[in-house]
Amino acid sequence: MEDIKYVFDVKKDDFVRAGETSSKVKKILRELGIDSSIIRKISIAAYEAEMNIVIHSTGGQIVLEITPGVIRITANDRGPGIADVELAMKEGYSTATDRVREMGFGAGMGLPNMKRCSDRLYVTSSEGTGTHIVIEVDLKAGEQGE
């Protein structure tokens, strides 16, 4: 009952608005009174997921769901998908073009950062279909602000 859900569209190659979704996520969590260290983790993870949709996909959505026990970020895109998820998860692995790298993206740390900043990370993807990512962070008792 006490769940709340927000859906944000993320466009391909839209660098002007890139980062806006994770900013909005952060603001919502702050207003809810979530502990600031958890806000930081979620917003970093959400940012990486958002940027991957902007850079690597043809567009998609970020969904934020909050329940009293867990915060969940779901990132869905329409493709092209990741051929080898295990490889993509490796630190430093990136298929980003030189152009993208010049702009300060594509260090290959996005997926590893999502892992580091979450309690659970699920990546489902294959070539041809889209990529589906779920990032979860638990709200343990006593971690809801001071």
Ligand X SMILES: Nc1ncnc2c1ncn2[C@@H]1O[C@H](COP(=O)(O)OP(=O)(O)O)[C@@H](O)[C@H]1O
Restricting to residues 2-61, which ones interact with Mg ion according to CB under 5 A? 52
Restricting to residues 50-109, which ones interact with Mg ion according to CB under 5 A? 52
Whole-number minimum distance, CB 14 to ligand X, in Å?
14
Contact predicate 113/45, CB 8 Å:
yes
Q: Please report, as a single letter, which amino acid is at residue 2.
A: E
Tell me: does residue 118 bind ligand X (CB under 6 A): no
Which residue's C-beta sits nearest to Mg ion?
A: 110
Binding residues vs another protein (CB under 8 A): 2-4, 6, 22-23, 26, 28, 30-34, 36-37, 39-40, 43-44, 47, 66-68, 139, 144-146
User: Between 33 and 52, how does the x/- string for binding to ligand X read (CB under 6 A)?
Assistant: ---------------x---x
Contact residue for ligand X among 54, 56, 73, 136 (CB under 6 A): 56
Q: Which of 23, 11, 6 is nearest to 64 (CA)?
A: 6
**If you search the block for the tokens 């991957």, which residue do you land on?**
52
Whole-number minimum distance, CB 25 to ligand X, in Å?
17
Give the number of other CB atoms < 10 A from CB of residue 20. 13
Contact predicate 121/110, CB 8 Å:
no
Which pair of tokens denotes residue 29?
Answer: 């969590």
Pick 48 or 136: Cβ nearer ligand X? 48
CB-based contacts of 145, cutoff 8 Å, min separation 6:
33, 34, 35, 36
Whole-number minimum distance, CB 119 to Mg ion, in Å?
20
